[in-house]
Amino acid sequence: MEKKSRKENILTMLDTEPQDVFLNYALAMEFLGETDFINAEIQFQKTLRINEEYLPCFYQLGQVNEKLNNTNAAIQFYNNGIELAKKQGNTKALGELKEALWLLED
């Protein structure tokens, strides 16, 4: 019997828990790993619809939109993430988001 891929396992788990934030984020990261930026963006957006304050999505959506040459969207995701990181008191994420924005705007 062939072993399932991580992506297949995630999809199977999502069948029973479609609103699980981490599973949806994990699927988006699988798409990202496949350089399937369109589906990664769709899946990150779905994750944010489940939990609009899931901070890791903002950095990843910024990165994906940079890859898709959607600079304005990337800037908006970074800025929104910066505000959320401040609100959550997450200094590590705040630094990463600020650096990504700085590199993009440089």
The predicted model gives 66-85 an average pLDDT of: 98
| Number of domains the chain contains | 1
Q: Which domain holds residue 76?
A: 6-105
Q: Which residues contact 77 (CB under 8 A, 6 or more apart)?
A: 58, 59, 61, 62, 65
Average pLDDT over the chain reads 97
Q: Is 76 contained in some domain?
A: yes
- Inside any domain, residue 39: yes
Section 75-88 average pLDDT:
98
Contact 47, 18 (CB under 8 A): no
Query: Half-sphere exposure (CA, 13 Å, Cβ side) for 86?
Result: 7
Domain with residue 49: its CATH number is 1.25.40.10
For residue 6, give the H/E element and its range. helix 6-16
Domain-located, residue 1: no
Q: Is residue 94 part of a domain?
A: yes
In this prediction, residue 2 has a pLDDT band, given cuts at 50, 70 and 90, of: confident
Does residue 95 lie within any of the structural domains? yes
Mean pLDDT computed over 19-39: 98
> Quick one: average pLDDT of 59-87?
98
Domain assignment of residue 37, yes or no: yes
pTM of the model: 0.93
Q: What angle do CA 16, 11, 18 make, to 5 degrees?
A: 40
Place of tokens 């396992």: 9
